[in-house]
Amino acid sequence: MELSPDLLRQAHYWMRLARALDDRGTFLHKQSKIVGGYFSQIGHEAVSVGAALALEPNDVAAPMHRDLGCYLARGITPRRILAQYMGRSTGVSRGRDANIHGMGDLNFGIVGFISHLPASLPVAVGMAQAFTLKGESRVAMAFYGDGSSSQGLAHESLNWASVFRLPVVFICENNQYAYSTPLSRQMNIVDIADRAAGYDMPGVVVDGNDFAAVYRAAHEAVKYARAGGGPTLIECKTMRMRGHAIHDNMAYVPKELLTEWAHRDPITLLEDHMRGIGLLDNVGLSTLLAHIEAELDEAQAFAEQSPYPDEASLTDGVYA
Amino acid sequence: MELSPDLLRQAHYWMRLARALDDRGTFLHKQSKIVGGYFSQIGHEAVSVGAALALEPNDVAAPMHRDLGCYLARGITPRRILAQYMGRSTGVSRGRDANIHGMGDLNFGIVGFISHLPASLPVAVGMAQAFTLKGESRVAMAFYGDGSSSQGLAHESLNWASVFRLPVVFICENNQYAYSTPLSRQMNIVDIADRAAGYDMPGVVVDGNDFAAVYRAAHEAVKYARAGGGPTLIECKTMRMRGHAIHDNMAYVPKELLTEWAHRDPITLLEDHMRGIGLLDNVGLSTLLAHIEAELDEAQAFAEQSPYPDEASLTDGVYA
Amino acid sequence: MTWDQGLHKEISTIASEDASARELTYLEAIRDALRYELLRDARVLLMGEDIGVYGGAFKVTQGLFEEFGERRVIDTPMAELCMISVATGMAFQGLLPVVEMQFADFISSGFDSIVQFAATNHYRWGQAVPIVIRAPGGGGLRAGPFHSQCNEAWFAHVPGLKVVAPSTPADARGLLISAIRDPNPVIYYETKALYRSIKGPVPEGEAGIVPIGKAALRRQGEELTIIAYAAMVPEAMQAAAQLEAEGRSVEVLDLRSLRPLDEEAILASARKTGKVLIAHEANRTGGIGGEVAAIISQGAFEHLDGPITRVAAPDTPVPYSPPLEDAHRPNAAKILDAARTLLAY
Amino acid sequence: MTWDQGLHKEISTIASEDASARELTYLEAIRDALRYELLRDARVLLMGEDIGVYGGAFKVTQGLFEEFGERRVIDTPMAELCMISVATGMAFQGLLPVVEMQFADFISSGFDSIVQFAATNHYRWGQAVPIVIRAPGGGGLRAGPFHSQCNEAWFAHVPGLKVVAPSTPADARGLLISAIRDPNPVIYYETKALYRSIKGPVPEGEAGIVPIGKAALRRQGEELTIIAYAAMVPEAMQAAAQLEAEGRSVEVLDLRSLRPLDEEAILASARKTGKVLIAHEANRTGGIGGEVAAIISQGAFEHLDGPITRVAAPDTPVPYSPPLEDAHRPNAAKILDAARTLLAY
Ligand SMILES: Cc1ncc(C[n+]2csc(CCOP(=O)(O)OP(=O)(O)O)c2C)c(N)n1
Ligand SMILES: Cc1ncc(C[n+]2csc(CCOP(=O)(O)OP(=O)(O)O)c2C)c(N)n1
Ligand SMILES: [Mg+2]
Ligand SMILES: [Mg+2]
């Protein structure tokens, strides 16, 4: 499948935006403008954007904490995200949930993330089952990590989706670590995608730093799901390029491993490709980056000027 | 591997004892002498006895509710079991736990069963990890069913055993049903053993009604585990020949399926084989059965004459 | 009666919808509510282990699979944790799932998803979770530690959840309908020991819907209030009747709803009688009784004429052997004893 | 200080064993207890996510992997439910595992195995389960609904479990040593907000071991008792000091052990002062405060001079935004307010 110039440009924008928003967050955190902890997703851009762009607007996704690109590409704005990080009333969770947690908005088909991993999987399965029961031609996508793959709920979710042949796309982001824990302490196999066979579903391994590879696999899986084929498991091999969260200097990661992956940065790879086929040049890139910086400046200003939630609202919304 | 006459005779005794004790329980339940519910294990004798006999006395097992043969073969006596079913103070749990639950006694390397399936798996994994840490050459065996295989804990346990390469033998008793639920509602695959590949452990399918097949596979797996090879998953294909528990008439099971399996009764199969090689004749069989009936008569009398626990002991033993 | 003798029986009497003054068992009333809601609202569906073809371990859903088909009455894999989250996902997409735990004891296997996920979505990001979790609880059936639990206190502590526990057929129906229509996750504790042991008049149609959060005064009295719920309500009524025969005037308040508690009704009764006894089948320490006592001791302090007294199960698992279970389980006699002491105070 | 600013810091000061009058932080005291027990008893081992090479999310176990090696300090897969059962299995075979939940919030993922399995084995078949589960709990750190929970009440309701929650460095060590030596499963709640914010003298060797089930009278007084635990103890002390400055005499009782509760100490203090305020960081409804109030209202009824008062978090998840979290979290000022009202009663 040839990827259209338009798709590549979109992908480029969202991946650059995710990266820039991530950097902005780090900067704001250093300035103590961000409340509490902060998760970087650098290295994950091709996964989150590649998978998200394979969905239709009417589909749904349950992203995890390094899928900023998915939130953005589906329509959660940097304004709302920065306001969220700053605990403002204009943040996605209106100051209730922390950093990337609880950033859900079903108007954009996004489920709010919950810490307890891999909770995103079964909720996507349930949404997919609702689609099936209602006869809607929609697909649910769920993300989980290599660490999350050790949790029983990962098994229950994949199995449930398989038993009911539900339209779910499981994106496993294998970024080599779960907090400080290397793959060897989570599993005794090389490819998590091998487990798909235990559910009679397709299991695919892709280069998670290659946007086109992620997009193609996800697109295929979405098509298959929508056609009634059932779930697919896509394992994206990538690398978490920062610590688990901002406080973690990841001394436990071998330097060489980071260097190796740094040479395969997903944005650089995409840009090299786009330059090669004449879709990008230096001018185009600086224009885009300037545009993004301006967008983030505006978003930051919006967030900083947004009020904190009124403490009188503390108990609002515990019940619907 | 040729099975020794002695082993076959042992197996025959335990399988016959399990079957007779099971029948006795049904009889006593009809007489309202057994308290509460009652689980039959008919059809499972080759699995529970075949697996248990592959263990050394110093090994441990965490059996489930249809593994009567395992309890017996490891030394829990019919006396204690019938007293347990009758809620007597001489029962294995001293009247505290119900029917086949909580019949644990580590003097015989048996863990007390808990309802919440498949709780037997991780506790066996933990015991195996203790053996490894202490440098003991012991093996832990755990049982679970086709229904239990849908639970996340099954995944976590197999994965944990694999990651730490622990001496565990997982016996999956695929008896076609989980309560009323057929395999097709638990999984979308034919062989649960296929999932072993997802943990890089050997996965074996055996005829669970063939004692020799179960024993050989279990023996192999125990040897492999003891040699440091790690865990093995053995799936035993069998059939639950009664309802889920005694109240269940299993109208949901196709008659033909039962007939088909009735022709492959594990005890008949073993006895045919023993007759064929001259280890059993009619006289030998009647002698054995008479011996077993006498044993059970004595056990029943013991149980019936045993006192109920004193209600003053109600709160004893909540804490160690 | 033990759990296998009778409790699991197939029933031929599906309550007919047109009977005008129906007498239903507690179990039939539950089924009636499920059927009524399934008929009324296409978004309602049932999910659970063995609830479809088999009709459920206790036959509560018997006949519904045949009537509504496999898209509305769904037999699931054996995976409680996933099941709760799947129900939550369905609710996100406009369905109204009613999930059956085979026994309340197994709700602990789905606990994580209930307390962390279902309970918090609306507060965190405004997404309602209209699911119901049916939990057949309680003992007295010789079913031992894993088929007799009363674990409602775990959930009564969790903001975002509602918890109800009916004690009559009418409430069994009326509260279940409310639970299904409630936009929040509701844990519906149904009492196995009441399934077939009690029968009573049950309203039809939109009549008799019981709001969540309202206690029911089962009996008026002046000298003592017994606060109870679920299986302990009939026991409390029996104790109160006996005391009346002895010339004492006792009020019985059936909580029905454990979260939210009907503080107003609790305080009103406590203020009126000045003496309160709380009875529940759950373990004493950390049970609902503690919360009720705290509410009263704070809100009706000046009206109290005696120590708030709790009658509850001692702090052990539910034992199996008959003499042990009988000693363990609170009942009318134990309530009576404690009530006499309190009345004499 | 937020959870990422400071809480996760690497520490260079491993407390030296021979210092005679040591001042340790709360966190150092926990580590000291772990190290002491690891040295003393070869059966003791630690298990958890990221506790080995990394030293734990809060660096509580820092240095122990290096000192004791991978057989004593075990980095595990991310699987809390399995972890608890594995620990139980290890305990069956003579080991004494101390399991770390990365945050107390994640204990719900292992809940099933704690309440159904670990808690019940000894009652059911006589098999002791000497495990400890460390649960770093509590808020005030801008960490939101999933990294701030106080969920001790779930476990305080379960027979067979013990639950402790130290508030001082000395107790952090003394109770952890007791927990490790206890033949029962003990949930050890450690308070993240106290990790590095308090320092105090910590005994060495076999000195200063704190028995489970004994409360500590932190301050004597005549007019009012404040009962608290964990993070609310320093807040209660601050409130009491303020009240003293205003001429009032306030007693502060630190529960330390939540199951079993020290009923004797609770009742003695309630009888003495006649006015009781209970403060905890957990949600109000169904919290430990209810149980304590019930004990007092039953056991010290005649001595009460005012309504038993609770200061606790309102019934919401712990919100993230600073003004919301501050409004949510009980503190000295809120205790003071309530205490003044009660004193004026
Ligand atoms: C049930 C549960 N236990 C522990 C944690 C704490 N925790 C947060 S993220 C994380 C590692 C997750 O690893 P992975 O799934 O590989 O995702 P990654 O962070 O690498 O993207 C852990 C252990 C959690 N969130 N949930
Ligand atoms: C967590 C949990 N949920 C539900 C049950 C109720 N239950 C008891 S046995 C059973 C079926 C078990 O099926 P399987 O594992 O195949 O074992 P089998 O009974 O067929 O031997 C169910 C659903 C349970 N014991 N545990
Ligand atoms: Mg990872
Ligand atoms: Mg089965």
**Residues C208-239: tens digit of each pLDDT:** 999 999 999 999 999 999 999 999 999 999 99
Residue of the nearest CA to atom 6 in ligand 2?
C102
How does pLDDT run across A218-239, given as a tens digit for each residue?
999 999 999 999 999 999 999 9
Residue A277 lies in a domain: yes
Indicate yes or no: CB of D105 within 8 angstroms of CB of A115.
yes
Q: Which residues of D touch A (CB under 8 A)?
A: 2-5, 7-9, 49-50, 53-54, 57, 75-79, 81-82, 102, 105-106, 108-109, 141-147, 314-317, 319-324, 326-328
Partner residue facing C53 (CB), from B89, B96, B252 = B252
Instruction: Locate the ligand 2 atom nearest the alpha carbon of residue B186 and give its number.
Output: 16
Residue of the nearest CA to atom 11 in ligand 2?
B178
Residue B313 lies in a domain: no
Specify the DSSP class assigned to residue D56: -
| D89 interaction partners in chain B (CB closer than 8 Å) | 111, 122-130, 140
Residue A105 lies in a domain: yes
Residue B243 lies in a domain: yes
- Is any atom of ligand 2 closer than 6 Å to the C-beta of B117? yes
Beta strands in D84-240 (DSSP E): 96-100, 132-137, 162-164, 186-191, 199-201, 216-219, 224-228
In the predicted model, what is the mean pLDDT of residues A58-69?
98
Map out the domains of chain C as residue ranges. Answer: 20-202, 216-343
CATH number at residue A75: 3.40.50.970
Whether pLDDT at D13 is above 80: no
Specify the DSSP class assigned to residue B3: P
ipTM for the whole complex: 0.97
- Please name the amino acid found at residue B165: R
Tell me how far apart the alpha carbons of residues A135 and A123 are, in angstroms, rounded to a whole number: 18
How many beta carbons lie within 10 A of that of residue A153, not counting itself? 28
What is the predicted pLDDT for the residue at D332?
98
- Is any atom of ligand 2 closer than 6 Å to the C-beta of B185? no
Whether pLDDT at D10 is above 80: no
| A156 interaction partners in chain C (CB closer than 8 Å) | 77, 79, 81-82
Span from the CA of A42 to the centroid of ligand 1 (angstroms): 16
Whether pLDDT at D24 is above 60: yes
A and C: number of Cβ contacts within 8 A: 127
Instruction: Give me the domain span that covers residue A151.
Output: 5-308
In the predicted model, what is the mean pLDDT of residues C160-183?
98
In the predicted model, what is the mean pLDDT of residues B180-199?
98
Residue B318 lies in a domain: no
Mean pLDDT, chain A, integer: 98
Best of D68, D86, D257 to substitute, by most chain B Cβ atoms within 10 angstroms, is D86
Residue of the nearest CA to atom 12 in ligand 1?
A178
Same fold, C20-202 and C216-343: yes
Residue B97 C-alpha, separation from nearest chain C C-alpha, in angstroms = 5
**Element of type H or E holding C226:** strand C224-228
What is the predicted pLDDT for the residue at D14?
42
What is the predicted pLDDT for the residue at A63?
98
- Is any atom of ligand 2 closer than 6 Å to the C-beta of B147? yes
- Is any atom of ligand 1 closer than 6 Å to the C-beta of A116? yes
In the predicted model, what is the mean pLDDT of residues B300-309?
98
Tell me how far apart the alpha carbons of residues B270 and B258 are, in angstroms, rounded to a whole number: 19
Residue A317 lies in a domain: no
Residue C86 C-alpha, separation from nearest chain A C-alpha, in angstroms = 4
Residues with Cβ within 8 Å of D89's Cβ and at least 6 positions away in sequence, in order, are B111, B122, B123, B124, B125, B126, B127, B128, B129, B130, B140
Indicate yes or no: CB of A163 within 8 angstroms of CB of B187.
yes
Terminal-to-terminal C-alpha distance of chain A: 46
Confidence of residue A1 (pLDDT cuts 50, 70, 90): confident
Indicate yes or no: CB of C116 within 8 angstroms of CB of D105.
yes
Indicate yes or no: CB of A35 within 8 angstroms of CB of D322.
yes
Specify the DSSP class assigned to residue B111: P
Indicate yes or no: CB of D317 within 8 angstroms of CB of C105.
no
What is the predicted pLDDT for the residue at A116?
97
How does pLDDT run across B22-46, given as a tens digit for each residue?
999 999 999 999 999 999 999 999 9
Check the CA dihedral B50-B55-B57-B60 and report its sign. Answer: negative
Residue C258 C-alpha, separation from nearest chain D C-alpha, in angstroms = 10
Whether pLDDT at A14 is above 60: yes
Establish if B154 touches chain A: CB-CB under 8 angstroms: yes
Whether pLDDT at A214 is above 90: yes
For chain A, the domain total comes to: 1
C216-343 under CATH 3.10.180.10, yes or no = no
In the predicted model, what is the mean pLDDT of residues A177-202?
98
In the predicted model, what is the mean pLDDT of residues B192-216?
98
How does pLDDT run across D304-345, given as a tens digit for each residue?
999 999 999 999 999 999 999 999 999 999 999 999 999 999
The percent of residues above 70 in pLDDT, for chain D, comes to: 94
CATH hierarchy code of domain C20-202? 3.40.50.970
Tell me how far apart the alpha carbons of residues C223 and B62 are, in angstroms, rounded to a whole number: 55
How does pLDDT run across B144-189, given as a tens digit for each residue?
999 999 999 999 999 999 999 999 999 999 999 999 999 999 999 9
Indicate yes or no: CB of D49 within 8 angstroms of CB of A88.
no
Indicate yes or no: CB of D53 within 8 angstroms of CB of A311.
no
Residue A152 C-alpha, separation from nearest chain B C-alpha, in angstroms = 3
CB-based contact D175:D188 (threshold 8 Å): yes
Partner residue facing B152 (CB), from A151, A186, A200 = A151
Residues of D with active-site annotation: 147
What is the predicted pLDDT for the residue at D2?
47
Burial of D92: CB neighbours in 10 Å, binned 0-12, 13-18, 19+: buried
In the predicted model, what is the mean pLDDT of residues B271-296?
98
Residue A258 lies in a domain: yes
- Is any atom of ligand 2 closer than 6 Å to the C-beta of B146? yes
Residue A319 lies in a domain: no
Residue of the nearest CA to atom 19 in ligand 1?
A178
